Amino acid sequence: MCGIVGYIGSNRAYDILIQGLKRLEYRGYDSAGVALVDCDGKLKIHKSQGKVSNLESIASGANVEGHLGIAHTRWATHGEPNDINAHPHMSQSGMIALVHNGTIENYAVLKKVLMEHGYEFKSETDTEVLVQLIEYIKLTSSCTLLEAVREALLQVDGAYAIAVVEQNEPDTLIVARKSSPLVIGVGEDETFIASDATPIVGYTDQVIYLKDNEIGVIRRGEPVQVLSLFNNEPSTINIQKLKLSLAQLEKGGYDTFMLKEIFEQPSTLRDCLRGRIVDNCRRVTLSGVDLNQERFKSAERITLVACGTSWHAALIGKRLIQDFCKMPVEVEYASEFRYGNPVLNEKDIVISISQSGETADTLAAIELAKAKGAFVYGICNVVGASIPRTTDSGTYIHVGPEIGVASTKAFTGQVTVLTLLALSVGQLRGAIDDATLHEVLAALDKIPETIEEALKVDPEVKKLSRIFSYAHNFLYLGRGYNYPTALEGALKLKEISYIHAEGYPAAEMKHGPIALIDHDMPSVIIAPSDSLYDKIISNVQQVKSRGGAVVAIVSKGNKAMNDIADFCIEIPEVPECLTPLVASIPLQLLAYYIAVNKGKDVDQPRNLAKSVTVE
């Protein structure tokens, strides 16, 4: 959530900043703003509640010339969404401007001290406290902007990625990070900064990923400097080649990014699987496992930590690891794990799962697990993100940038990697027989083509969605591997259509939720032809006997369900452990088309952020 963009160079900064903000809209936000040092050397701020287009309207007609600037999209934490609380925030003198992602935990104490020294505050934000503190230090210590920023950051507790400019230093841009991402793009005679790489694509492919407790000093016409916050010593600069393209950030003819990403899943899963299934579908090669075989052989327990959609993938991962590795597995919300005083030791493996690699709660869980001696394995999509850099080892899902806030291709990518991981470790530990391994790997190797087949239900689901757009509540039911799939289907509907939906294990439906069922509450029941099919038939009958409408997700060729359910959506038949990959496709489409029918913004649903970088 929240987005930062900055520019210093010879081109008009405003145009680059606005374009960057638009590329960051997928992260979720409620206000936007820009600070520019104009050609007359004056620091000007324009900001507005609402979309970036609102900001453009406000700035139209104003002097937006200049070659240095910072910009921000805010997702409210301290103070309601409004013009005053929007970033950038300016110091009391009007000479310093700052944008900030993260949370300053001791801002109230700092604010009180500053008020005692005569500082007044216009906003309710923790960010304004930081910019005022920087100015106070600069004035009282007669130091440079860099020195003031460094001293201020040594006094704050919490998480931050910041960018700072000053009217008196029109050739300098200062950035810093701690537990919140920041990337520097190095061009020819120009430099870009952003909270992720998407605003930089198309300008340069040379990037520096700032590390925790580092300060970046960007001066016009000089190489970028990176300094340690603690001792002010230069850090080693590692310039990496960016592997993103403009085509990946565009809709490619689809109406929305979400629909594009749903239909990208055959190709993204090909990328995810490429080079990982070998020896004619008889072995998995994952470098993160291959390089740490003794850790996985000797492990006594695995704990999966994640949030949101990634947590649903983790629940599927639990069953996969238990089935194929024959070892105890736990799944924890990262936010609960870190406060639950977990009992861990060097025989434990903690697997952290995050699309963005920047989820604050998951990062904190990783730090805790490492402190207790556990081996930490990361599953992530974004190359160079904080989680891959923090974990001991791991695997990228390689599904490309996911712009839609509601995760689709990242979910199937995570489940695919968890399947590969379970099979790899199961083979390593001698817990899976060769015939089972070959059967599952052969089916997994063909899963991109299977997903292509599953996507052919699109016209059918689109038509069906019109019937259910009226609903105020939905129940999603599944058993075994598809209980988490039901949770994920319900989450997708909640996220983008704002319809209340709950996922349940089908057998638990009669332990409470059955009281809610009537003709106004439809149920989506995942009923593939697996080992639990006969059990779930009775759940369908229980819903129908109480007047509830049933949409059943069934294996292709199952015509018997037509006599019971109101609507049947057929999916290709696959081994039971792979059904979540296939069953999730019609669930994604159903949520998408219901939301579209209701006129909702499916790519940027209200109150949600793509990357949750605060607790």
Cβ neighbors of 524 (< 8 A, separation 6 or more) are 474, 475, 476, 477, 486, 489, 550, 551, 552, 553, 587, 590
Q: Is 2 tagged catalytic?
A: yes
Half-sphere exposure (Cβ direction) of 315: Cα atoms closer than 13 Å: 19
Q: How much helix, strand and coil, in percent to the nearest 5, is found in the chain? A: 40, 25, 35
Q: Please, what sign has the CA dihedral across residues 335, 338, 344, 345?
A: positive
Helix axes 447-454, 265-273, angle to 10 degrees: 170
Tokens of 330: 């736990």
Question: What burial letters (b/e) apply to 577-597, b meaning 16+ CB within 10 Å?
Answer: bbbbbbbbbbbbbbbbbbbbb
Select which of 47, 111, 138, 610 is catalytic: 610
Give, for 234, the enclosing helix (H) or strand (E): none
Q: Which has the closest alpha carbon to 196: 55, 356, 420? A: 356
Q: Are 201 and 245 in contact (CB under 8 A)?
A: yes
DSSP code string of 1-53: --EEEEEESSS-HHHHHHHHHHHTGGG--SEEEEEEE-TTS-EEEEEEES-HH
Catalytic, 456? Answer no
Residues 6+ apart with CB under 8 A from 271: 398, 399, 400
- Which of 2, 380, 568, 577 does the annotation list as catalytic? 2
Indicate the length of the chain as a whole number: 615
Cβ proximity of 20 and 30 under 8 Å = no
Residue that the structure tokens 């690891």 belong to: 321
What distance in Å separates the CA atoms of residue 126 and residue 111, rounded to the nearest whole number? 8
* Lookup: tokens for 264: 């990208």
Look-up: residue for tokens 């009923």? Answer: 527
Instruction: Spell out the residues 6+ positions from residue 49 whose beta carbon is closer than 8 angstroms to its own.
Output: 30, 31, 81, 82, 83, 86
Q: 225-228 and 567-571: which strand pairing?
A: unpaired
The encoded tokens of residue 144 equal 């440079």
User: Where on the phi/psi map is residue 225: left (φ > 0), alpha (ψ -120 to 50), or beta?
Assistant: beta
Dihedrals φ, ψ of 360, to 5°? -60, -45
- CB burial string 514-532: b at 16+ within 10 A, e below: beebeeebbbbbbbbbbeb
**Residues known to be catalytic:** 2, 610
